[in-house]
Amino acid sequence: MGDALNAALSRLDDAAELLKLDPAIHQRLRRPRRVLEVSVPVRMDDGSIEVFTGWRVHHNTASGPGKGGIRFHQDVDADEVTALAVGMTFKNAVLGLPFGGAKGGVRCDPTTMSNAELERLTRRYTWEILPLLGPDRDIPAPDVNTDAQVMSWIMDTVSMSTDQATPAVVTGKPLLLGGSKGHVGATSSGVVICIRALFQELGLPVAGSRVVIQGFGKVGGPLAFLLHSAGMRVVAVSDVLGATVNPGGLDPIALANHVKETGTVAGFGGGDAIGRDKIWDIETEVVVPAALEGAIDVDVARRLRTRAIVEAANGPTLPEADPILHDRGIVTVPDILANAGGVTASYFEWVQNRAGYAWEEPLVAERLRTRMEESFHAVWARAVELDVSLRRAAFVVGVERVAETMAARGMYP
């Protein structure tokens, strides 16, 4: 069992103990409902055939159809996808969304593939997992190394296979194919909403406060701009190739232009170069991990010089680091709350597709803000009530809601 899956199950177990959860429901929650592993043969541009491996996992669908992204990455495996599906179950529950938890992935390196190869990979993977997909069964979304174009290919493949338009089968689509205004950047917007709510509880001013961002991709890039616009100083940013620091604050637009030209934050003229691991040593009010899993381990937890962590990535903090952060008084807004803006916007897109009526962007933004703030305050109140960290409280809220739904439905047969 992989580290990510162990981490997800350990947090489930902790919530179950705090709730005195029915052992039968606990047992069911520890196992995914289904794990589909598929072979994905693809004809490459040179005429050769390469066979990739893909997965789609449904962890729990008591609350509704499976909802979760699809990632293309060379290190993805069944345990990682299952761990992410577990997280989606409780993330959806914390936000009060009528979805269960699902996730998907294909083990491949998309950076080495042409656009045509990626399309053939996507369409064949979609065909292989087709029995699971549908607006009332399972609704994928973008994740690592997938985007609106990949979602378009998935939607078209499903639609062609059934000979009917099925825009609600995926979210994160382009606007002309039924995407939602306000969906792009919704994860980053949700992180900002959580930072504002957290700073209000901690009595910290947003304007002038310092932030370090690990990762400058689909979430970290827009986030740097949004936080800068809110008056915060983005003092350091890192990616897989390096990091840049400026105590007076980095210019996010200039940095984004540099990344567009070079592919990395390293070498940015508006800051000083540092090792990417050194960002954890910078004194700051908030750190935002926005890359892949497992970034904050025991060593990093001991080194951090910050008041708070707001997790824009999935699973960035290892379980053994949690008690160290708690003992040091570093407040952590967990991933299943902090980065839920994306799945919330996906819910809005799904609702619009089902109704056949598009919302205007201000309505999307207002409903996103309302739902994120309500969810934050529900978790904060539970943390105060139980005298536990926000992560433990968030899992308590999520597990309790799913367990109540399972108990209400009963078990078939």
Supply the pLDDT for residue 214. 97
DSSP 330: -
Rounded Cα distance between 312 and 218, Å, is 11
**Mean of the per-residue pLDDT values of the chain:** 97
Decide if pLDDT at 124 tops 70: yes
| Residue 33 Cα distances to 105, 206, 241, 397, angstroms | 17, 42, 38, 21
Supply the pLDDT for residue 3. 84
The model's pLDDT over 72-85, given as tens digits with 9 standing for 90+, comes to: 999 999 999 999 99
103 labelled catalytic:
yes
Decide if pLDDT at 105 tops 80: yes
Tell me the pTM.
Answer: 0.95
- Type and span of the H or E element at 347: helix 341-355
The model's pLDDT over 370-409, given as tens digits with 9 standing for 90+, comes to: 999 999 999 999 999 999 999 999 999 999 999 999 999 9
Name residue, tokens 């109704």. Answer: 355
Rounded Cα distance between 106 and 300, Å, is 30
| pLDDT-derived band at 293, boundaries 50, 70, 90 | confident
The model's pLDDT over 18-73, given as tens digits with 9 standing for 90+, comes to: 999 999 999 999 999 999 999 999 999 999 999 999 999 999 999 999 999 999 99
Rounded Cα distance between 240 and 276, Å, is 7
The model's pLDDT over 166-212, given as tens digits with 9 standing for 90+, comes to: 999 999 999 999 999 999 999 999 999 999 999 999 999 999 999 99
Name residue, tokens 């919302």. Answer: 359
Residue among 20, 67, 91, 103 flagged as catalytic: 103
The number of residues making up the chain comes to 413
Structural domains of the chain ordered from first start: 3-166 (3.40.50.10860), 186-333 (3.40.50.720)
- CB-based burial label for 247 (10 Å; 0-12, 13-18, 19+): middle
